[in-house]
Amino acid sequence: MKKSLYILIFSVLGIFYIGSGIYFYKKSLRRQPKKPKESVILEVMPLSLIVMKELFNDFENENSLLRYSLSTKRSFSGKRSVKLDSNIEFGAEIVNSFSEIPYLNNLREIEISMKYWNEKINGEVIWVLEIDGQDGKLLSWEGDVMPDTLNKWGNYTVRFKIKNDFLKNSNRVKMYAWNKNKSTFYVDDIRVQFRGIENIYNTSLIVNNIKQSSFHFDLENDSLLNNIGSLTDELSLSGKYSSVMKGRDQTSVLICKNLERVVNDTLRNLTASVWIYPLTENVNCVLTLEVRSSDDEQIYWSGKSTEKMNLKARQWQKLNSLFNIEPEDYLKFNPDDEICIYLNNKSDATVYADDFDVSFGPTPSRPGNQTIVDMNAREGGVYNYDRYHPPYERSFMQLTDIGNFDSPFLIGSDSIAQAFLNPYDLLFSGNFSGNAVLTDELLSINSKDLTLFHYCESKNRFVVDGVIPFDKKNFPYDNITTGDFNGDGKNEILLLSSGTSSMYSISAPPKSSCSDNINGISLNEMWKGKLENSTMKYFTGNYLGNNADELLLAGKQGNIILKGFENGTWKTILEENVPRVIFSDSSTGVSIKYLSDVHENIISIYSEHKIIKGQILDFKNNKLNRGPMPDESSLFNFFSSDDQLFPIRAKNSKREDIFSYNNRWRFELKLITHDKKGFYISSIPEFTGYVSDQNPKYYEIVRLVPGNFTGNKTELLCILRNCADNDFDGMNCKKFDSLNDLPNRIQVYSLPK
Amino acid sequence: MNSMKHISYIFFPIFMLILITGCNKKKSSISTSTPAPATATATANTAQREVKQSAEFSIIDFDALTNCTQVKSDSLRIIYLDYFDAINTGFIIPTNRQNEKGRFLCKFKIKNNSGSPKRFSYKIFYQNESYKFPEKDTVNGNFNPYAFENFYGSWSDSTVLFRTTSNIPSDGKFHVINDSINITGNPRNEEMCYFKGKNNRWKRNPRVGIYSFLLAVTSEENIRNNNIPSAVQNISLRVTDNFIHPYFYFKYGEGEKLNNTLSLISKTWLKVVANPDLGSGIFVDNKQFTSLKDNRYSGSNCGTDTNLFRKSGFEQFLHYIDASTRLDNIPVIADVLKDNYSKRDYNWNRGFYSKEELIGTTPMKALIPCETVYSDPVNKKIIIHNPKAEPAKWKKENVGIISRHGLCYGKIRVKAKLTELLNKNNMWNGLTNAIWLINQADDGKWNLRRPCQKEGYMATYWGGENDKRVNRVGYSEIDFEILKTPAYCPDQFFPPLYKNPTNNPRDINSWNTRLPDEITSNDGNITVACTNWDMACWEPENFGAGCNTVKYGDKIFEAHRWNHTYRALTEKTPAPDDSLFGSKYYYFEIDWRPEEIIWRIGPEPDQMHVVGYMNNKVTSIPNNQMLLIVTQEFHNTKWWPGSPYQQDNIPFPANDIFGEIYDVTIE
């Protein structure tokens, strides 16, 4: 009896001991050690921009003696710190190769924080971040002055933004203190965080404050995971690795996120799925959602069990779960709480898990305030369009066959596939050769060549008139514009440069054939000289109503200069000061026949205190009139200062309307017209005639060139590209990506008449 | 009731055979030498030359359908319900349009065994045998009270009790007695069907299916001495609140033991089928339209006139539009079925319209009578269409037809080509094709379901979890709803995980998110959702919430109910859209029986397969009179959690969307 009692007591203690061991072992797996003695990778964990890599040094390691001027006189933690004094100008150096940073392309900033102590006011210690190239060449140097602490330990944190250009594995970053005044100075506990955007399959950008909230984890990389000890290459659903739970109460990898990373306010629901491979049937696993506070206290738990699902043995089976969190729970959550998803094995069998998907929160709500139209409130079910409010009428642009077999090339027939136009090229339409009377030619300028195209009706395709070498060495420019400045009916090419500007015309033999690369095309210099300030914002148009176009230069200081090309040189016609804001960097504009059907006006759109405003410039009798449109912001509501604006001939009128294109939030075209009451959106043009669902507005890069290429109508030449770059920011794409179901294209659409 | 549940109506003829064989053993009966027709059913064969004999008389050769010429088999006659004026009179079987007298001529032979001339008393009863509860409890042999719900009757004038024969000489010969009978609604002349003194027999229409006829003959003394209860002689009378079922009384009850009282089943049986003429026009209920003056689409085959009122089997159905169905719809008009509309189109439109641009609306119903429904008198079909939207006339308008004559139980089979739901990209056009039954006119107490014996029903179909419970309720609904939505069961697959888009125009993958594998693996399938609205009556012994299996033969269905107060039980089966709505036509059948409901679909009536099954162990089967509705509806997908496409993000239709109904047969 007594023996049995002992056995029982020891059994209970044993179970408790083993249970505790398992608990602490599990905990140790989840919360990995954070403070090693050397500058080593601690862990990869998500923060606001997620921390891709972290280094920490408390200088307690003796091996560092050779590298650091260590001192035991002061220390914030432990016994040592780094000392800089009158003999040591540079110190506390940390060097890291970019090749050691996972997902380098996602890196956006480096944050350095430390404890420091200085013994002198105005000691001027500068914390420096250098980026060196492969050959040790200095690529970037940035410094930040550290404030004084005067004989006490202070906190210092600095962040350096890292440009994409520097994100090469061959580069390295060097961080150190520059003791400029050689004062006595101590540094301890330096922490360096390499922060970047998350490596996710959905997107590399966060747009309109919509948080990235869908994640796929194929477990092929252990970054962003906890309990990575469970990863195994024994079997997997995808790739090579899965997470194994060999027995009861084992957990899979943990996918943890800070709340503020994944939802805009709080987490009301979460959907998760995981593939499960049990070695025996009817295993019980629980797909678990756990929320822990910043001090590691569990504040929410929910799970979906497979107990009644009759899971089969040795098969990958999917488990989906929706976690709806009640208000009494989610109201307790804080932005820095951590949400973890994992699979918990409640059976004795071995279970593998792979390919987690997690989607936080509901589908992001649409931008905007509220629906304006209520069809139920309308008698007869008919809505009268409101010129000032969406939804607007739609019009349709029809695809024009340009004989390129809907290819990525402008010319894709007659066994020719050429002119894979780059959307970042300079592209102009107009009559450059003098041959285009009823139609427009297309002029393309890249860093090497100038190429002229025209559409040949008999061949039903574009042809190349000619290619002229056009390197920047021989043709320097900051900007290029075109116009018929001398009134000869042809468009000239004006190269605006901070140095010497120049103007050229294209000579070509009279149009006689549709042959490609006709002989005799050349570039003729018409003028070379200095313009007032070629970096000013510029507009070209026929502002005076004569036969020639003028050049308007607008400075940020508010001065505008109207120049005309007469007798082989540019002459100032008018000079005046206007409020500078209307021609700021963030303004846009267009020259259209707005007030007159003879001469053009400049419609200038600008942003002032986040309110879109506009002005109409009218040149009459050699005098500038601003207006007559009053400066009423509501009249310009339909514009944005980053719109691309094109003139388009108005219906049954010699005056022109405005075609507006913007791709800030979405691909958006607007046909903006005007009457006595001002501007309004007459329609939203949509594309029709494209193959399958390859709508031009779905492309990541859409370059539009207006012109009259194939006949007497307004057309849009569309260069449609997708980008293969992971870090594509919408501005520059290094590598285009032709998707199978959305291949790169060059198309022409005719605008609604 | 539960003890009866195992009896399947598939075995009905065998059951009848046993029943009648049983009767033969109790009564001294003499079989004649006339051979039974080889093709007759076993039940009828046995009865065909059956002689029943008592001390005073013998009876033989009871045939209730001597003038019913349309023959299904030797012992089975068939008749189709005559819809003309049935809206006023209820169905009458037969009508005077179907035979000269508007009655079935019945005859039997009687032989006087008493030794002196005598008159004898007799009465003819009928009962629907296809859709009935057995009269006798198979466990204790007592009367099964659910059999009171059976459709049985006698001469429609209930004041005519037992009729008396002329003086029958006791000459050792059988003498022919002729009479007639018809089947009408409300055969027990129940008060609940009366309104302002008029017996609205349509409130309890005759059921479709097979009818038997029972002849009861007794001596005049038994009538005179009230040996037969008055509630048997007059079936409209009750004894302590209950009727007396004549079939039970004469076959198993006291009548079976009563001296000089015999009963005999007619050798011919009657099959009643409803097959409304879809070309006979569509009636319009003027109460439902506010713009009745707009008659531009009305005409002789669709409208409000009296002729259509009397003859049409269907009327235009106008949906009740609940405010909760409000949509904030993308301002896009497209023909999803024809315009190559793709998932990418869907995703872009989902992501890149702001709230101000959306069109607030609810699914609409027709404003002008007859605009969207058409009865084709030549091809005898009904064509319905959801009308197209136009710029500034954005609408998603539901369309449908509803039958006008309520029926209880039946195998309701619809041959139709309703609109395709998916296009070649397997993108959904937002419509739900529905073939469903709903209780007839729940504005009165005449059409309530039987009491729910456990806690009662939820009082309203639209109320929430805290709705009060009531003993009886009028609402009943049995649905085919066919749309693009995933199954709720098995539990591990629900809900599918849809990635949230982030709508970055510079990254296609941010807005063009892929659907999960479990959805794409069913890409070409739509879901056939079979639902019974049981109003959360907890009486069924296996009532449950969540996913629960229901077996039917070797098939296992997963029935789903959100919680214990949820009023409907649903089973979902995936099926190819191309088959159901891409072929020339397809059949949809709701086999509504007293103790089970079977949903079937198939390319032909003899190639149907079961896609849903429920019985009274898992759900309360309705027993009130219902109407058939065929609709093409725009549902708010919030009703269908887990749906891959949300109604708000599906364009308004650019073209009319047609559906055609070729045949409706209820048998």
pLDDT band at A584, cuts 50/70/90? confident
Element (H, E) at B580: helix B577-582
- The pLDDT value recorded for residue A64 is 52
Across chain B, what does the average pLDDT equal? Answer: 90
Segment 178-217 of chain A within 8 Å of chain B by CB = 201-208, 210-214, 216
Picking from A371, A667, A692, the nearest residue to B505 by CB comes out as: A667
Picking from A318, A362, A375, the nearest residue to B492 by CB comes out as: A318
Q: Min CA distance, A158 vs chain B (Å)?
A: 30
- Model confidence at A612: pLDDT above 80: no
- The pLDDT value recorded for residue B14 is 38
Tell me how far the alpha carbon of residue B23 is from its chain's centroid.
33
Chain A residues with beta carbon closer than 8 angstroms to that of B510: 202-203, 205, 207
Q: Do A359 and B503 touch (CB under 8 A)?
A: no
- Model confidence at A199: pLDDT above 50: no
Picking from B356, B393, B504, the nearest residue to A203 by CB comes out as: B504
Q: Min CA distance, B560 vs chain A (Å)?
A: 15
Picking from A271, A311, A729, the nearest residue to B497 by CB comes out as: A271
B145 has a chain A CB within 8 A of its CB: no
Q: Min CA distance, B329 vs chain A (Å)?
A: 9
The SS3 of residue B274 is strand
What DSSP string describes A24-55?
Answer: HHHHHHHS-----SSS-----B--SSEEEEEE
Give chain A's count of helices (H) and strands (E). Answer: 3, 46
CB B448 within 8 A of CB B192: no
Residues B83-124 have pLDDT tens digits of 999 999 999 999 999 988 899 999 999 999 999 999 999 999
| Residue range B423-439: mean pLDDT, rounded | 97
Nearest Cα neighbor of A249 from A492, A517, A20, A14 is A20
Give residues with Cβ within 8 angstroms of A520, minimum separation 6.
A507, A508, A509
Residue scoring higher pLDDT (A92 or A622): A92
Q: Are strands A269-278 and A350-360 parallel, antiparallel or unpaired?
A: antiparallel
DSSP B167: P
- Model confidence at B423: pLDDT above 50: yes
Q: Do A698 and B508 touch (CB under 8 A)?
A: yes
Cα(A537)–Cα(A558) distance, integer angstroms: 11
B357 has a chain A CB within 8 A of its CB: yes
Which of B338, B346, B398, B508 to mutate to test binding with chain A, by most A CBs within 10 Å of its CB?
B508
> Nearest 5°: phi and psi at A62?
-60, -30
pLDDT band at A85, cuts 50/70/90? confident
Q: Are strands B282-283 and B314-316 parallel, antiparallel or unpaired?
A: parallel
| Residue range A114-141: mean pLDDT, rounded | 87
Residues B481-519 have pLDDT tens digits of 999 999 999 888 889 999 988 888 888 998 999 999 889
pLDDT band at A729, cuts 50/70/90? confident
A67-71 long-range contacts (CB < 8 A, ≥24 apart) are A67/A93, A68/A92, A68/A93, A71/A186
Q: Which two tokens stand for residue A578?
A: 């206007």
- Which range (A112-121, B110-119, B256-265) has the least confidence? A112-121
- Which range (A100-114, B103-117, B181-195, B494-508) has the least confidence? A100-114
CB A283 within 8 A of CB A351: yes
Cα(B132)–Cα(B248) distance, integer angstroms: 13
Q: Min CA distance, A631 vs chain B (Å)?
A: 25
Cα(B32)–Cα(B23) distance, integer angstroms: 17
Nearest Cα neighbor of B253 from B212, B216, B301 is B216
Q: Do A203 and B498 touch (CB under 8 A)?
A: no
- The pLDDT value recorded for residue A67 is 60
- Which range (A465-469, B69-73, B203-207, B543-547) has the least confidence? B69-73
Chain A residues with beta carbon closer than 8 angstroms to that of B545: none
Q: Where are the beta strands (DSSP E) in A457-521?
A: 461-469, 479-483, 492-496, 501-507
Give residues with Cβ within 8 angstroms of A90, minimum separation 6.
A84, A176, A177, A178, A179
The SS3 of residue B538 is coil
> Nearest 5°: phi and psi at B509?
-65, -20
> Nearest 5°: phi and psi at B510?
-75, -30
A666 has a chain B CB within 8 A of its CB: yes
Classify A278 in phi/psi space as left (phi over 0), alpha (psi -120 to 50) or beta. beta
- Model confidence at A388: pLDDT above 90: no
Provide the residue type at A183 as one letter: S
pLDDT band at A169, cuts 50/70/90? confident
- The pLDDT value recorded for residue B292 is 57
Residue scoring higher pLDDT (A28 or A327): A327
Q: Do B503 and A208 touch (CB under 8 A)?
A: yes
Distances (CA, A) of A43 to A40, A224, A258: 9, 9, 15
Q: Which two tokens stand for residue B388?
A: 């197209």
Residues B600-632 have pLDDT tens digits of 999 999 999 999 999 999 999 999 999 999 999
Give residues with Cβ within 8 angstroms of A166, minimum separation 6.
A98, A131, A139, A140
Find, in chain B, the residue whose alpha carbon is nearest to that of A392.
B357
pLDDT band at A207, cuts 50/70/90? very low
Element (H, E) at A17: helix A2-30
Cα(A362)–Cα(B493) distance, integer angstroms: 18
Cα(A357)–Cα(A741) distance, integer angstroms: 25
- Which range (A51-65, A324-338, A467-481, B55-69) has the least confidence? A51-65
Segment 406-435 of chain B within 8 Å of chain A by CB = 425
Nearest Cα neighbor of A452 from A414, A499, A509 is A509
Q: How many CB pairs under 8 A join A and B?
A: 190
- pTM of the complete model beyond 0.90: no
Give the percent of chain A with pLDDT over 70: 86
Residues B567-604 have pLDDT tens digits of 999 999 999 999 999 999 999 999 999 999 999 999 99
Q: Do A203 and B342 touch (CB under 8 A)?
A: no
Chain B residues with beta carbon closer than 8 angstroms to that of A312: none
Chain A residues with beta carbon closer than 8 angstroms to that of B344: 693, 698, 741-742
Nearest Cα neighbor of A666 from A706, A642, A698 is A698
CB B281 within 8 A of CB B383: no
B322 has a chain A CB within 8 A of its CB: no
Q: Do A205 and B517 touch (CB under 8 A)?
A: no
Residues A484-509 have pLDDT tens digits of 999 999 999 999 998 899 999 999 88
How many alpha carbons lie under 13 Å from residue B653 in its C-beta half-sphere?
A: 24
**CB neighbours of residue A637 within 10 Å:** 17
- Model confidence at B358: pLDDT above 60: yes
> Nearest 5°: phi and psi at B350?
-65, -40
| Residue range B135-157: mean pLDDT, rounded | 95
Find, in chain B, the residue whose alpha carbon is nearest to that of A394.
B391
Give residues with Cβ within 8 angstroms of A567, minimum separation 6.
none
Which of B507, B562, B563 to mutate to test binding with chain A, by most A CBs within 10 Å of its CB?
B507
Chain B residues with beta carbon closer than 8 angstroms to that of A364: 500-503
Which of B499, B518, B643 to mutate to test binding with chain A, by most A CBs within 10 Å of its CB?
B499
Segment 268-327 of chain A within 8 Å of chain B by CB = 271-273, 306, 308-309, 311, 317-320, 322
CB B326 within 8 A of CB B361: yes
Cα(A376)–Cα(B362) distance, integer angstroms: 7
Nearest Cα neighbor of B421 from B601, B647, B599, B607 is B647
- Model confidence at A40: pLDDT above 50: no
- The pLDDT value recorded for residue B650 is 98
- Model confidence at B179: pLDDT above 60: yes
Cα(A276)–Cα(A243) distance, integer angstroms: 10
Residues B208-237 have pLDDT tens digits of 999 999 999 999 999 999 999 999 999 999
- Model confidence at B41: pLDDT above 60: no
- Model confidence at B660: pLDDT above 80: yes
- Model confidence at B47: pLDDT above 60: no
Cα(B648)–Cα(A205) distance, integer angstroms: 26
- Model confidence at A349: pLDDT above 50: yes
Picking from B341, B362, B501, the nearest residue to A376 by CB comes out as: B362
A367 has a chain B CB within 8 A of its CB: yes
- The pLDDT value recorded for residue A483 is 96
- Model confidence at A35: pLDDT above 90: no
CB B473 within 8 A of CB B535: yes
Find, in chain B, the residue whose alpha carbon is nearest to that of A374.
B360
DSSP B497: -
pLDDT band at A581, cuts 50/70/90? low
User: What was the ipTM of the complex prediction?
Assistant: 0.84
**CB neighbours of residue A451 within 10 Å:** 24
- Model confidence at B18: pLDDT above 50: no
Cα(B309)–Cα(B86) distance, integer angstroms: 10
Chain B residues with beta carbon closer than 8 angstroms to that of A665: 352, 503, 505
Distances (CA, A) of B80 to B71, B91, B94, B200: 12, 10, 9, 21
- Model confidence at A28: pLDDT above 50: no
Residues B534-563 have pLDDT tens digits of 999 999 999 999 999 999 999 999 999 999
Chain B residues with beta carbon closer than 8 angstroms to that of A277: none
B358 has a chain A CB within 8 A of its CB: yes
- The pLDDT value recorded for residue A677 is 78
Segment 640-659 of chain A within 8 Å of chain B by CB = none
Nearest Cα neighbor of A336 from A267, A288, A287 is A267
- Model confidence at A52: pLDDT above 90: no
Cα(B153)–Cα(B181) distance, integer angstroms: 10
| Residue range B128-155: mean pLDDT, rounded | 96
Segment 680-699 of chain A within 8 Å of chain B by CB = 692-693, 695, 697-698
